Amino acid sequence: MINVAAIRMQQFGVRFYQASLTAGDIDKLVRFEVLNYGESGQPVRGGNKKTPSKVNWDLLERRIASSEKAYQRQIIRRKIDELVQYYEQCRQARDLPSIAGAVIISCDEKLTFEPVSEGASIGRLKVPEREGILRAIDGQHRLLALHADIDNIKDEDFTVPAIIFDRLPEDHVVQMFVTINAKHTRLNASHLVSLSGRQLYRDDALAAAHDVVRALNDREDSPLRGEIKLLGVGHGRVAQAPLAQELKKLFAGDAFGGPRKSADFREDSKKFFVNYFKQVSVVFGVAWNGRKYSIKSATALRAFIRVAPDVVRRLDQEHADRSDYRAIGRVMAPWGRRIGNVRFESEGVWKRAGTTVDSLARELKLALEYPEGAGV
């Protein structure tokens, strides 16, 4: 274990650490990787190896892995050269830090924090001493430049401020990376498309969830076409993350009729959910096409996703194809009678009832269970 001074921090229920890592720690613990763009893609782009440079590019490129499960863009040669030159200027001038801002890092394994006293936020962070255990979310160029210049830095009293997350979920890492880079560094559109692919999500349930979200946002016949803000960017009004997490919960369990049926259903889930929301847009046509309704809010869409297994069970009882557009419409018809468009008026019932995902999902389930209002 490597012990480093750290501050334990928390934001919106997420715990992370602000720590001080030495140049040696960075050089050993951080792994560098870029997204694989295919056989023709190279981990480093721009510039010419024959151009005079203080960087040993042959050695540096061997340190950079290329993987379909990575999320970083290709390394920019000119940027590394400029950073190494800047580090040299800082070293000679002795009046300016070279890496003043914190880099953002995720650790693959569990971290242990020992506070200086009970309940204190200051203490020592124990990081497993394993090569490549840390991944850079933000600051990879700065850290690669440090690695390229390590022979000139290793004898210095040199520390790097770092924000370290403990086993951050894969999709959260990607979303944080995109949010940080999309606006300020003009992340290339093709890179966004690559990042949103199935290869990034190693969890099958999460992969299926993101496939469905992409289908809902991209397919021409989807009533939610262009309405979802994928990976934190775009013109959509609803964020991708809450919808994906709601879907993940369904796919991770036995909500669609046991492990085997649920696994089979994943293959047809894109068609089902597109047809499902097409019928939602028909049953609640006024609300769906109106401006003063909350039916396309994250709360409402999550509630509709949450009751999807109930709709599927009704389809199974009728021995209907789970993706059949008309059959889905027959099952959902009671919502038009029992709930109606008025329920989604933003300044009306929606607001007065203090609508939540749970409360709306209960109403939708009840309407399916008692289509004519019997027993209510």
Domain chopping of the chain, boundaries: 2-168, 257-376
pLDDT for res 155: 80
Residue 374 burial (10 A CB sphere; 0-12, 13-18, 19+):
exposed
Cα–Cα distance for residue pair 22/143, rounded to 1 Å: 11
Averaged pLDDT, groups of 10, the chain, 376 residues long: 91 89 86 56 56 63 59 69 85 82 87 92 91 84 84 84 85 70 55 52 76 90 89 71 86 74 77 95 95 93 95 92 93 94 95 93 93 58
pLDDT for res 201: 56
DSSP states along 250-276: HHHTTTTTHHHHHHHHHHHHHHHHHHH
pLDDT for res 193: 47
pLDDT for res 240: 82
pLDDT for res 63: 60
Angle value at C-alpha 300, between 303 and 183, nearest 5 degrees: 115
pLDDT for res 116: 93
pLDDT for res 69: 56
pLDDT for res 244: 85
Token code pair at residue 54: 């203080």
pLDDT for res 195: 56
pLDDT for res 307: 96
Cα–Cα distance for residue pair 203/123, rounded to 1 Å: 34
- Name residues whose C-beta falls within 8 Å of residue 75's C-beta, 6 or more positions apart in sequence: 32, 34, 43, 44, 45, 64, 140, 141, 144
